[in-house]
């Protein structure tokens, strides 16, 4: 069996490569952690925006009824005006 020995320079280069590789792995792990945290935050904000848009849609869902309601209000006001005019004539007739 033969044993291969490394020179001091080769051993230093080997350890430098091992430490450099370890640092690269740590940097990748840190960047992936940051990425995961940012994606979670984006997901939470997207859900908040979606909920806000759904609430806005619910708030404006009945705006189609505004024209119908306005027509009903016009009819009620017209009828009220007729009653007012009628009662005004009756009042004048009673006073005279």
User: Could you tell me the residue ranges of all domains in the chain?
Assistant: 1-59, 64-96
pLDDT at residue 89, rounded to an integer: 85
Strands (E), 1-96: none
pLDDT at 2: 72
Task: Give the whole-angstrom CA distance, residue 48 versus residue 44.
Answer: 6
What pLDDT does residue 62 have? 74
**pLDDT confidence of residue 87:** 85
- pLDDT under 50: residue ranges of the chain: none
pTM of the model as a whole: 0.53
pLDDT computed for residue 91 by the predictor: 80
**pLDDT number for residue 1:** 65
Distance, in Å, from the CA atom of 43 to the CA atom of 35, rounded to the nearest integer, reads: 12
Task: Provide the 8-state DSSP code for 53.
Answer: H
């Amino acid at each position: 069996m033969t044993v291969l020995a490394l020179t001091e320079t080769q051993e230093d280069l080997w350890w430098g490569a091992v430490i450099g590789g370890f640092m690269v792995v740590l940097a990748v792990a840190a960047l992936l952690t940051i990425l995961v945290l940012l994606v979670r935050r984006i997901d939470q904000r997207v859900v908040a925006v979606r909920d806000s848009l759904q609430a806005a849609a619910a708030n404006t869902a009945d705006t189609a009824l505004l024209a119908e309601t306005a027509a009903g209000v016009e009819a009620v006001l017209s009828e009220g005006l007729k009653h007012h005019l009628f009662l005004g004539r009756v009042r004048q007739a009673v006073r005279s």
